[in-house]
Structure 1
Amino acid sequence: MTRRRDLVAYAVAGVAIVAFAILLAFALLRLAETEAEMRRNEGDNMLWAISRAQSAALLLDSAVSRQTSLPQTDAEVERRYNVVLSRLTLLSEGPQLRYMGELGLADEIEAAARETRALEPRILGLSFGDAETAIAIHETLAPLIEGLGRAGNQSMVRQWEATGARVDRQRAAIGQVIISIVAIIVLGIFLSLTLLRAMAERQRVGQFLSRERETAELYRGFVALVSHQFRTPLAVIDSAMQRVLRSGKAMPRSEIDRRASQVRAEIAGLTNLLDATLDVVRLEAGQVTATPAQCAINELVERVKARQLAQTPGRAIRVSIADNVPPSVTTDPVLAEQILTNLLSNAVKYSPKTEPVSVSVTAENRQIRFAVEDRGIGVPHDEQAKLFSRFFRASTAQGVPGTGVGLSTSHQLAQLLGGALEFVSHAGIGSIFTLRLPDDWAGPTVQPARARAFA
């Protein structure tokens, strides 16, 4: 079903892109046609040529009249005549001749032009007082002037009609271009939304795959934990009970008590392991909340020390509290004690029995710092980034019982208290884990779920 939706989405996007290209090409074509049509001025040119020819004929007729009534040189009449001939030549060639044909005046104008050209001897021989020749020239020019006037009028009407049609075409073209642009914008919005939707879907799928990978890693880690940490105590319990069953009444009471204590110790270890695993689950599900209250710092540290000594009597645990540390801090005492218990337990577990473990409390920058230091196996530098991951155990911890959930739980609890858990560690030398808590309750903090080391 997902593949079918993807194919449909690709098909729709492809059709939209093709339509986008077609509309864009159509809009550009119509704009080019409109621009080319706006540059056409054939009617304007012809109207100008016709009007200039008519004006030249009128000026020639006026010059002939003045020549016969007023003594002047012949140069004026000859010049006017040459201008008329040049105008008539322009109208009787090429596109101009076709245009006059479209007006239905080509033959009439051509005949009048031939007659005008035939006047050359008379015009050049015109003299003062030659009224008869002047009248003959006027009668020859009159049809030409009249025809050019009709041609000018028809050209003007035709130009108006062409201009109106051109405006209508341009208006229609502009409307089509506007519609095309609106359609392009709509398609662009559609493609953008489709792209954003695809990106969101890809991000959602990526997040889903990331969660799946995390779940798979959690499952593998949990399976490894169960197979290693659960199997060994169960094997010990099973072996002890089999020995009791096989021996029956022949087993001494002291041996039965020893094996019973061993079974109870293994069961206690399994219980602690299950509790640690459930803590991780509750934290991931957001079921653990902090309840801030006044917590006496000295009492908190002494409780953690006493609990650890009850489990490992004889271990040297040194406690020091700086003079500038306030008597109490506002935090969740239960969660803070759980963090420090985990840190102190790890310090004792991963350091030689002959080496002391120290707990120091200092105050700095409105923070209370609980530092737990050991001289144990330490954590290799290339593994420190994973130290707060669930079920992770350093390579130096091989052979030492553990679940790999204590530091992950402590890291998340520190954030829940509005503080942070930091460390500095060197393989073979030891580690210092520091719990930083605000001296005044500020609520939970959000930090990346990775180890944070400090020098």
Structure 2
Amino acid sequence: MKRLSSSIFGVWLPLAAVPAFALLLSFSLIRMLDVESDMRVDAEQNMLWVLHQAEVAALRLTSTIALAEAGAASTDDVALRFDILQSRISLLHAGPQHRFIEQIHFTDTLDQLSRTLDSLAPEIGAFTPNAGPGLRSRLAPFARRLGQAANVAMITEWDDLGGRLEAQRTQLHQAMASLAGIMVAGAVLTVTLVQALRQSHRRNRMLRRERDFSALLIASSGEGILAVDNDGRCTLWNPAMVDITGKSESQATGETLANIANFFTTPAVHQGVARALAGSASQLTLQPLFPPGCATALYVDLHAFPMRDDGTILGAILLLHDASDRHAAQQKEALHRDQLEELVTERTRELNSALQRERSAAELYRNFAAMVSHQFRTPLAVADSALQRLVRRGKRAPAEEIAERAERARRAIAGLTRLVDSTLDAARLDAGQIGARRQRCSVAAIVETVCERQRETTPERQIVLEHAIATSATAFCDPAHVEQILENLLSNAAKYAPHKAPITVRIHADSARLICDVHHDGAPIAFQDRERVFERNYRGVNSAGIAGTGIGLFMAQTLARMQGGELHLQPADQGVTFRLTLPRYAGAMT
């Protein structure tokens, strides 16, 4: 019960007194301002005087008209008095005067008088003594009605003045009551302030005792504890910091952290201390610290916290914990993990290599079957043609023809044998079993052989061979593969060249390569097909109705690249040109 009473009188009562003090003071000020405002008399609101002046102006205009009838006043005097009356009536239509006219319900009468004045304006401008009686009769209501309005204005203003005085009296009473309340609230706050000062003295004594106890805890703590002020100078250095850094308390206190140890100048630690001084806590783990004269680093965990007093940052406190054992354990764990990752990587590499070899073998077997079905057709066709002619001639064939036909069949079969050997070697090469079988070859001789063979297969086609270099020029290549590449190119040209259009084979060279171009004047390959013409099983838009498998050019380019060469489709506006390039044999002469 005592604690509850202390709480009410020590906390809640002062808290209630403060807003009450502010509210009462504000209320008193508002009431005094209201009184001051009511005491002012607005000149523009003295309507009794304004209406009386309008009434006088109307009477003077009437008397001036009467004098003008008798010849005692001039027409200008009448016009002047009319203008004065008109200005008085216009004043009643402006601003606060008009609002007052509305308040006393004189608006309709005032509008009627204004219209009457407007209708009298032409007669006043052309005034004659004979018009005087009519003008005076029409001006007669002005004085009467303006006098009535002045009486109502006088009564209204007196009523308003009385109401204002009564309101001012009430406001003064309220202001005095508020001042009394302010005095009570001030007394409560004064008593509270005195009690707060007494409690502050007691708490200061308790804080000093707690500070002494905290200093004892810091001195006996196993963690390194230090404190710095806003300038970065050390203000606290416990014995554990002496063990960690080798610096005594007298050497550290009052010095900047950079002068105490290089550990505090490292970017991570410097930024952590800066964040703490800026008001944000930070944590750093396993930071290396080299004590003086020690080559082995200690690894410490650093925690930095801002020190505040009522929101003001006074400095920062840093806690250092020796985590060398944990660092050693993590290093050992990382080493084991790296060894395991290396083992897994090596096993994965071996498995991927085995899988790649398996895929390559499967792909090469498919390529081999496709090549056999595609490439073996030409030599078999040559051998079959020669043998068919021998069978048809029978005994009638002379010995020379039999020998010549048999020799053609043997050459075709020999080429077929070479093709089998080269294809198998290519499969072994891609599988990583053997190297390429390249040797010094006469490209001109291979081209002549392939051209002669193609003439026998397609006698209706004219094949023109052009030499731009010496026929003795040699290349470093696989002759069987070169032969099959040229057979594919000539066979492809024979399919797509226009009827009776020649097929041109041109051999030329540069400093590093031997070049063989196979050209025909057929329609250029469509733009959308040029990028895909060497893809496996791809056939362009111009192949409709022409027999083929779509692997000839793919195999030709593959065989060219296997021996260090290349096969390209040359850009051309007319005709189609495929270019085979092969590396020249070292020391060859053009």
Normalising by structure 1, what TM-score? 0.41
- Normalising by structure 2, we get a TM-score of 0.33
Give the greater-gyration-radius structure (CA). 2
